[in-house]
Amino acid sequence: MALALVATATLAACGGDTPTGPKNKSCTEDPTQVKCQPPTDTFPSTLKGMAARTGRYFGASIYAGFRSANSAAYDAILAREFSMLVAGNDMKWDAVQPRRDAYNWFWGDSMVAFALRNGMKMRGHTLTWHNQVPAYIRSQNWSADTARVVLTEHINGVVTHFQGRIYAWDVVNEPIDDSGLLRDTLFARSLGGTAFFETVFRSARAADPAALLFWNDYNLETPGPKQDSTVAWITRLKAAGVPIDGIGLQAHLAITAGGSGAAAQQVYFATLQRFASLGLKIHLTELDVRLPVEGGGTVELQAQNQAWANIIGACRLVSACEAIVVWGVNDGESWLTPGNVRKPLLFTDDLSKKDVYYTVLNALR
Ligand code: XIL
């Protein structure tokens, strides 16, 4: 009798999955479906709430929505869902120090004030990078002494201004190139890699001893020469006493046509453990999962969901992985071109939750 019941139940369950079964609706079409509900009544129903259950932060980079005169709906999502913010552009060198003698704090200060008012942590992004730099440091060929002066001036100026209000700074951004070599930039060239890293991390530490200092880069989520080289650099620098507290894995993931592209959870897990074993905190700093430009059919959308689940599931298993930050709130403000076809984020442009939002909520559990 019991067996017969099981068999009937199994058959009935299978029936729903056949091509002639009910259409698999999205949460926008039918928000009453079970998969669109928060996991259970006893679990929090927001990203920050679910992350906080395991002592983690859930963050977002913020853009035009925040800066618009009409930001109420956007700000409400920020306050409800996120416990960490980062300026998408407004704390980069060209934004905060457009000329050597001129600083501009307006948007950085507004964002920090909003974060603190709402009990959120603020990440600072980024003290040094090869992109989005002002004209006065572009195409220069400075001596080591001049380079050091300009660099420490910038770091002192910015870190001191925000002192006590930034939880973690990305001190270096993308310092290693795709083949694993030190990226050829003005400051690394003039000072040499070791002196460059020593200068920037030590100046940042001196200017705000309470801020965590991060090394941030892309394509570190999977093994390869870039990951190896980054591990080797950080190991050497930490052994020499350079204050590096954390590694930021940007985690700009991509699904290719046909649905491959993202790695398995064990691959991300092994990466996180590798960085954790160096004594580093880990932040996923710029997470997004883009669809191919051809657009996403069912296969690609499923792969996209799986990628979110895999990387967040991996973070969930490694205690050093304490923050997950998505690079934008809604698809329309994503940095990824062209247009809006990549659909890499958790909210639609009218700020409703996408299916992947629920995937993430579940993976954080
Ligand atoms: C991007 C911003 O999102 C865009 O608005 C801007 O035009 C270019 O920079 N890695 C980083 C981020 O570290 O600073 C970049 O942000 C995305 C890639």
pLDDT over threshold 50, residue 4: no
Q: What is the largest CA-CA distance in the chain?
A: 86
Percent share of the chain, pLDDT over 70: 93
Instruction: Look over the chain and give the mean of its residue pLDDT values, rounded to a whole number.
Output: 92
Q: Does residue 7 register a pLDDT over 50? A: no
Tell whether the model's pLDDT for residue 20 goes beyond 80: no
Which residue out of 63, 89, 173 has the highest number of ligand 1 atoms within 8 Å of its CB and is therefore the one to mutate?
89
Say what percent of the chain tops pLDDT 90. Answer: 84
User: Rg (Cα) of the chain, in Å, rounded?
Assistant: 22
11: pLDDT strictly greater than 90? no
Say which of 29, 81, 221, 286 is annotated catalytic. Answer: 286
pLDDT tens digit sequence for 26-55: 888 888 887 787 765 689 999 999 999 999
What is the model's pLDDT at position 64? 87
How far does the centroid of ligand 1 lie from the alpha carbon of residue 161, in Å? 23
Binding pocket residue ranges, ligand 1, CB within 6 Å:
88-89, 173, 250, 286, 335
- Which structure tokens are listed for 348? 């639609």
Cα–Cα dist 130/189, whole Å: 12
In this prediction, residue 177 carries a pLDDT of: 97
- Which pTM was predicted? 0.89
- CA distance linking residue 364 with residue 39, whole number of Å: 11
pLDDT given at position 132 = 98
DSSP state of 26: -
Closest CA to 62 of 83, 87, 93, 92: 87
As a whole number, mean pLDDT of residues 266-282 equals 98
Confidence class for position 24, pLDDT limits 50, 70, 90: confident
pLDDT of 173-211, one tens digit each? 999 999 999 999 999 999 999 999 999 999 999 999 999
C-alpha to C-alpha distance for 209 and 146, rounded to whole angstroms: 25
SS3 content of the chain, % helix, strand, coil (to 5): 45, 15, 40
Is 322 one of the annotated active-site residues of the chain?
no
> Ligand 1 centroid to 220 CA: how many Å?
17
Contacts of 268 (CB under 8 A, 6+ apart): 221, 222, 310, 311, 314, 315
Gap between the Cα atoms of 147 and 75, Å rounded: 40
Q: pLDDT value at position 26?
A: 82
- Which of the following is catalytic: 81, 174, 221, 322? 174
| Residue 56 Cα to ligand 1 middle (Å) | 24
Residue 202 CB-half CA count within 13 A? 13
Give the pLDDT confidence score for residue 220 in this predicted structure: 98
SS3 325: strand
Task: Tell me: pLDDT of 293 over 80.
Answer: yes
Q: Whose CA is nearest to atom 5 of ligand 1?
A: 335
Q: Tell me: the pLDDT tens digits for 215-244? A: 999 999 999 999 999 999 999 999 999 999
Whether pLDDT at 14 is above 50: no
**Mean pLDDT for the stretch of residues 347-357:** 97
**Predicted pLDDT at 22:** 54
The highest-level CATH class for domain 40-364 is alpha beta
Interatomic CA distance for residues 143 and 159, integer angstroms = 24
Helix axes 265-276, 225-239, angle to 10 degrees: 20
The predicted pLDDT at position 35 comes to 77
Residue 5 has pLDDT above 50, yes or no: no
Ligand 1 centroid, distance to 70 Cα (angstroms): 23
Instruction: Using the atom order of ligand 1, give the atom closest to the CA of residue 63.
Output: 5
Indicate which residue's Cα is closest to atom 7 of ligand 1: 335
Q: Any residues with CB less than 8 A from the CB of 322 and at least 6 apart, and which? A: 55, 56, 57, 281, 282, 283
CA-angle at 200, arms to 199 and 202, nearest 5°: 70
Tell whether the model's pLDDT for residue 73 goes beyond 60.
Answer: yes
Token pair of 49 as six digits: 């709430």
Query: What is residue 40's predicted lDDT score, i.e. its pLDDT?
Result: 58
Kind and range of the H or E run holding 87: strand 84-87
In the residue annotation, 300 being an active-site residue is answered as no
Q: pLDDT confidence of 116, banded at 50, 70, 90? A: very high
Is the model's pLDDT at 6 over the cut of 50? no
